[in-house]
Structure 1
Amino acid sequence: MEGRIIDIKGKKLYVEYSSSLENRPTLVFLHDSLGSVQLWRDLPVKLSETTQCNVLSYDRLGYGKSYPMPIHERPVNYMEMEADVLNDLLAELNINNAILFGHSDGGTIALITAAKYPERIAAVICEAGHIFVEEVTLKGVYDAWEAYKTTNLPERLQKYHGDKVEMLFKAWTETWTRDDYRSWNIEYLLKDITCPLLFIQGDADEYGTLDQVEKTITQVSGSAEKYIIPNIGHTPHKEASELVLEKSAEFIRKNS
């Protein structure tokens, strides 16, 4: 897919968008806290072809091929703000029947967007998303910070984010480990999610317990199902790619 930069209220975002299928939903891929369009690899194309849906992937500001994020501390509600940016992007592209597929931070942003902008969102696949902060999440962040200091992780990330790596890594780790972030919680929004939801999680996720799944699917207003994959960690779409592709395609066909 051809990529381009789109200006969304001053934020210059890298976008890949294929919209050749008339009267079909658009799958929208929302990457994690260290992710990018490129890091989805072939999942967007495979899922698009399997379900006959249009597809949109984009790098959030500061990630991948998008412009750098401003140099300042992230506010506690940064993911709520990212949901607003996504809504503006969907409006710019005239997408009113989006099926969101979000991983980790992207999964959380998908849930918030579905709650705040239900008229645009047809369904949500949330993979390893968070609705509150857990000790296991913080341990995962500290472990990642240690890996950043002691391994070639910065060089590996540089391949996808260029000279933005240090800023995005600090933005992620410093926000999640701040004292004022401990009380971050979006459970109050879940009742406003009326579209169908699929929550995918590995039962060995190093960043979250199954409480994240249970407390989400029991509090939304629409239909909700969970798909827990044994012995899989935080990235099921990479660790169990065929299972995730098959389950996601089944869910999308049922809701499109």
Structure 2
Amino acid sequence: MQNPANSTVVSDFAELPATASHGLLRIEYRWVNEVAVNAPIAVFLHEGLGSIAMWRDWPQSLCERLGMRGLVYSRPGYGLSTPREHDVKWPVDFMTEQARDILPALLDALDVGMQERRRMWLIGHSDGGSITLLYAALHPNELAGAVAIAPHVFVEDISVESIAQTKELYETTDLRSKLSRYHADVDSAFYGWNDIWLNPAFREWNIASELAAIKQPLLAVQGHDDNYGTMAQIDTIAERVPHAQLVKLDACGHSPHRDAPGALNEAIAAFISRQR
């Protein structure tokens, strides 16, 4: 099946069995830079409204720069993966479920063994950055290191305000039409993300206390002009994970891989090269 936004890219699918936390899932995924067959794997975790298609060619270009093979996938509810049923609300701990249950199950389905996982890097953006942090905390012996780009560690007013504004744009402008190019069920994707972030109960969500369990190398990146979070997010990471390295990018908003790809790629490449 083809990705919604790119007719030249063909997705593969993995079937994940039902568990106590989720039903049977069909996950859209794609390998990039497949020529690097013996190289470490970089797993890319997309933002709250992201998908394989929304990454565009950044994972490919970064993997070529790093000499890695990349795994890109659309989380449940996004892209061409199993959509969220419209009457289902994401739970407050939905990102923990993604790190604890979904990603490990996907790696199992793709026969990514423990030896490969110990060489694996996670690279996550926004919600995907939070899932990256949680996976690193929950599975400290199953990865080589992690890169969290504009991650959320706790809920800030600026995040809620921007997400509320995005809802208004979705319902009153052509934003819905634009996003529909990247998701088979665009309302499933949008409202799954928007409803949980605007749920009053989610204001108490905070994973700072869990970060101390992260033992592997960690890079956290934030743009100074991010309208979804402040530097307090990655500063909190540094407080809880003393070995973490921070990069703060000028003239960069919430999406460094689009706003400042050169600076981001350089920072990631330099960081990972120091760990090898």
TM-score by length of 1: 0.94
Letter in 2 for 1:27: A
Letter in 2 for 1:123: G
How far apart in 1 are the matches of 2:155 and 2:262? 29
Identify the residue that residue 6 of structure 1 maps to in structure 2.
14
How far apart in 2 are the matches of 1:69 and 1:173? 13
Letter in 2 for 1:125: V
1:227 counterpart SS class: strand
User: Could you tell me how far 1:5 is from its partner in structure 2?
Assistant: 0.5
User: Could you tell me how far 1:245 is from its partner in structure 2?
Assistant: 1.3
Matches within 5 A, 1:97-116: 97-116=119-138
Identify the residue that residue 107 of structure 2 maps to in structure 1.
90
TM-score by length of 2: 0.88
1:237 aligns with 2:257: yes
How far apart in 2 are the matches of 1:70 and 1:115? 29
1:77 aligns with 2:93: yes
Identify the residue that residue 5 of structure 2 maps to in structure 1.
none
Bigger CA drift: 136-145 or 243-252?
243-252
Identify the residue that residue 155 of structure 1 maps to in structure 2.
177
1:191 counterpart SS class: helix
Q: For this pair of structures, how many residues does the alignment match?
A: 254
Identify the residue that residue 15 of structure 1 maps to in structure 2.
29
1:75 counterpart SS class: coil
1:250 counterpart SS class: helix
How far apart in 2 are the matches of 1:214 and 1:143? 26
How far apart in 2 are the matches of 1:52 and 1:183? 40
2:27 counterpart SS class: strand
How far apart in 1 are the matches of 2:226 and 2:195? 21
The percentage of aligned residue pairs carrying the same residue is 35
Q: Deviations over 1:9-45 (max 9, x none)?
A: 2210001024543542111110001111111111111
1:27 counterpart SS class: strand
Cα 1:165–1:2 change in 2 (3 A) is closer
Q: RMSD over aligned Cα, in angstroms?
A: 1.5
How far apart in 2 are the matches of 1:149 and 1:170? 11
How far apart in 2 are the matches of 1:70 and 1:78? 15
How far apart in 2 are the matches of 1:100 and 1:183? 26
Bigger CA drift: 112-121 or 13-22?
13-22
How far apart in 1 are the matches of 2:149 and 2:75? 18
1:69 counterpart SS class: coil
1:121 aligns with 2:143: yes
1:38 aligns with 2:53: yes
1:133 aligns with 2:155: yes
How far apart in 1 are the matches of 2:159 and 2:28? 29
Paired residues of 1:87 and 1:113 also in contact (CA < 8 A): no
Identify the residue that residue 4 of structure 2 maps to in structure 1.
none
How far apart in 2 are the matches of 1:8 and 1:114? 21
1:161 counterpart SS class: coil
Q: Which runs of 5+ in 1 are unaligned?
A: none
